[in-house]
Amino acid sequence: MDQNRQQFYSGLVQQRKLCNVCRELINPAACDGGQYDSSQIGPWSRWQGNLQTKLMVVGQDWGDTNYFRKWKGFDDPNNPTNENITKLLFSIGINIKPIIGADQVGDIFLTNAILCLKRNGLQSAVDGDWFENCGKKFLRPTIEIVKPNVLVALGEWPYKTILQAYDIRYVRPQAYRMIVEQIGQAGGKKLTGGTLLFPVYHCGRRGVNQNRKWSDQLNDWKLIQQAIYIGTQLN
């Protein structure tokens, strides 16, 4: 691995550990004395934290303090969102290993738009300021360290956060679906540095059952597969 890349990443992780800007949230480094925190930017990166990958996926937020304690800083091995992201990745030729309760480098890089922990349940409300703070301080620097060919925003909030971090105005049409389909068909939205951004729908149970059916999500990811392949051929 590029030594400078790892050094920059480790420095960013240390900054995250010290951050307390969003007072309503709990930093993993401050939860239970930091005993379940890690040397990754956030808990999701413990599963897939490859700094030299072609694909990076950004979720909304990871969870709350109770979930963090229960699984000791990792995810529930049967987490529905993780099971579905695994299936979507497999559908485009990326076969990632299941969560095993130990740090894995993995094949891709997973992170969240909000890195700290909520206090009041997994489904508790989020605040726009949390996304803005974390996006500019940590998400954009992480993207610039990893330098993926393709960046996937797993839902509207992560997509808005990435645009905001790159000082791009968000103009929402009548439905988020229109953004997903237009950008997907266009081959992604290019960010500074050349990374292609693809907004998709969240793949949790509610996202699949209420917002965008599974067959459509599979088609969205096929367009992502094409962009990864083209980017790999160019590098």
Q: How far apart are CA 201 and CA 233, in angstroms?
A: 27
Question: Domain total for the chain?
Answer: 1
**What angle, 0 to 180 degrees and rounded to 10, lies between the N-to-C axes of helices 80-91 and 214-234?**
50
pLDDT at 230: 72
* Beta carbons within 8 Å of 224's beta carbon, 6+ residues apart: 55, 92, 150, 152, 184, 198, 200
SS (H, E, C) 172-208: CCCCHHHHHHHHHHCCCEECCCCCEEEEECCCCHHHH
Coil, strand or helix at 100: coil
Q: How far apart are CA 201 and CA 179, in angstroms?
A: 10
Coil, strand or helix at 217: helix
**pLDDT under 50: residue ranges of the chain:** 233-235
Give the burial string for 24-56 (b: 16+ CB within 10 Å, else e).
Answer: ebbbbbbbeeeebbbebbbbbbbbbbbbebbbb
Specify whether the CB–CB gap between 109 and 45 falls below 8 A: yes
What are the backbone angles phi and psi of residue 49, rounded to the nearest 5°? -135, 45
Q: How far apart are CA 102 and CA 93, in angstroms?
A: 24
Give the domain extent around 71. Answer: 3-234
pTM of the predicted model as reported, rounded to 2 decimal places: 0.95
pLDDT at 231: 58
Q: What percent of the chain has pLDDT over 90?
A: 88
Q: What is the CATH number of the domain that holds 15?
A: 3.40.470.10
Q: What is the DSSP string of 39-59?
A: SSSSGGGGTSB-TT-SEEEEE
